[in-house]
Amino acid sequence: MITEEVLTLPKTYEEINEKIRKKKAVVLTAEEAIELVGKKGLKKAAKEVDVVTTATFGPMCSSGAFLNFGHSKPKIKVQKAWLNGVNAYAGIAAVDCYIGATEIPEDDPANKVFPGEFSYGGGHVIQDLIAGKDIELKATAYGTDCYPRKELKTYINIKDLNEAVLVNPRNCYQNYNVAVNKHSKRTIYTYMGALKPKLGNANYCSAGQLSPLLKDPYYKTIGVGTRVWVGGAQGYVYWWGTQHSPNAERKNGVPVGGAGTLAIVGDLKQMKPEWIVGTSMRGYGVTLTVGLGIPIPILNEEILKYAAKKDEELFAPIIDYSKDYPNAKPGNLGTVNYKQLKSGSIKIQGKDVPTGALSSYSKALEIATILKKEIKKGKFQITKPVQLLPQAGSKYGFKMLKERPVRR
């Protein structure tokens, strides 16, 4: 009875898609895959499972959206643009702009009264757009013969835009630091949250055993062209992310810290505001929280072996954000695994330190489950990368800036 259901290894993308189209694919979330491998062993499980869904939901800087407003009458070649008072980069064409996640309003007090609140910015504009709210557009220009208009003030709404495309140059960090404050005597306010003095708390930011690139650590199936679930819509990996660093230190084959990243694109018009969320980090600034789900096709045992790695097998470095990180000092205060991080307390230099996460595991689990359902219903097919990401062992790497004296 099961002969036509179970594919022989290695499976191909096309064979798996055929099963997806017939609504017969065996799809598990990464959590369920861990359980199955534990119960049945890798060999048996790899034959049974076709796709493992992974996901993450956390603040991801290097996000933003391209918008095309449409032409006004008379026409304007927008030189400067503001959306709800937040500057959007308009040096692209006449009525295109890019609204970046971390931009803050020009009149925002920022950190003048420390720590600043950063209650609104680019990330919030993007969420408001998705939510269907009217956004105030203000634009100025110098005027040309073909684009005579010099000023524009109006409301825009996502439904009236020609295009609204989320284009995130760096998302989905493979792994991330655990941030602490070791040296400062006061609470420090970082992009990893508020960190209390004397190792008062430790913040981490990864979905651990659910996180996409932790489950495909050698980028065997996730590459350029991979279809992904982003913000509630179907999108794609359009390139490797900026700062992609495949040669980072590894443990059990999995990077300990940053490493790989993805560049993500998707149609903002199809997204939902609960999965793309404007984010305010006290004393630091604004950003965008992105919900991302990526299917991993189980082509062979090796791929499932990594997709079924548990929290206790995945490690993150503990980094001091009071002195070491700001001064780009290498080294760490040790490593911890995600099971320890999720327990609520870790030991750092003999001290018990409470942990908190910026990345929501429960939201990631929701996304992995939604993606699983979509694949099972035949609505979401997997894709073979058109090009692999720069691989571990390649010359591709992450460089620091070499400053040179400027003479003039």
Partner 1 sequence: MAETSKRLVLHFPKTIIDQPIVYRLIKDFDLIFNILKAKVTPDEEGLLVIELTGDEKNINKGLEYLKGLGVKVEPFSKEVTRDDKKCTNCTVCVAVCPTNALHIPDRKTMRVEYDNSKCIACEACVEVCPYKAMKVRY
Residues that bind partner 1 (CB under 8 A): 57-59, 119, 193-194, 196, 201-203, 277, 279-282, 289, 342-344, 354-363, 365
Contact 104, 83 (CB under 8 A): no
**Minimum CB distance to partner 1, residue 127 (Å):** 10
Q: Which residues are registered as beta bridge partners of 234?
A: 229
For residue 221, what are the CA distances in angstroms to 212, 273, 332?
11, 29, 31
What single-letter amino acid sits at 179?
A
* Residue 90 per-residue DSSP state: -
Q: Which two tokens stand for residue 154?
A: 């109006």
Question: Rounded to whole angstroms, how far apart are CA atoms 208 and 211?
Answer: 5
Choice between 50 and 311, CB closer to partner 1: 311
276 burial (CB, 10 Å; 0-12 / 13-18 / 19+) is buried
Angstrom distance (rounded) from CA 21 to CA 355: 43
Of 25 and 277, which CB lies nearer to partner 1 in the complex structure?
277
**At closest approach, how far in Å is the CB of 327 from partner 1?**
24
Can 172 be counted among the known catalytic residues? no
CA distance 272 to 231: 6
Task: With H, G, I as helix, E, B as strand and everything else as coil, classify residue 126.
Answer: helix
- Separation between Cα atoms, residue 334 and residue 385, nearest integer Å: 35
How far apart are CB 4 and partner 1 at their closest, in Å?
35
Per annotation, catalytic residue among 61, 146, 172, 205: 146
User: What interhelical angle do 361-376 and 30-40 show, nearest 10?
Assistant: 80
Q: Least distance to partner 1 from the beta carbon of 239, Å?
A: 27
What's the token pair of residue 8?
């022989």
Smallest distance, Å, CB 183 to partner 1?
Answer: 19
CB of 58 or CB of 297, closer to partner 1: 58
Q: How far is 333 from 348, CA to CA, in rounded Å?
A: 7
> CB of 266: closest distance to partner 1 in angstroms?
19
CB 341, min distance to partner 1, A: 10
* CB nearer partner 1, residue 250 or residue 342: 342
DSSP 300-339: SHHHHHHHT--GGG-EEEEEETTTTTTTT----S-EEEHH
Q: What DSSP state is assigned to residue 105?
A: B
Cβ-count burial 277-314 (b if 16+ within 10 Å, e if not): bbbbbbbbbbbbbbbbbbbbbbbeebbbebbbbbbebb
Shorter beta-carbon distance to partner 1: residue 227 or 342: 342
- Smaller CB separation from partner 1, 144 or 343: 343
Structure tokens at 233: 């819509």
Our CB check for partner 1 shows the closer of 47 and 363 to be 363
Minimal distance, residue 202 CB to partner 1, in Å: 7
Q: Which is nearer to partner 1, 236 or 338 (CB)?
A: 338
Q: Do residues 291 and 58 lie in contact, with contact meaning Cβ atoms separated by under 8 Å?
A: no
* Alpha-helical regions (H) of 145-265: 212-215
Which of the residues are catalytic? 146
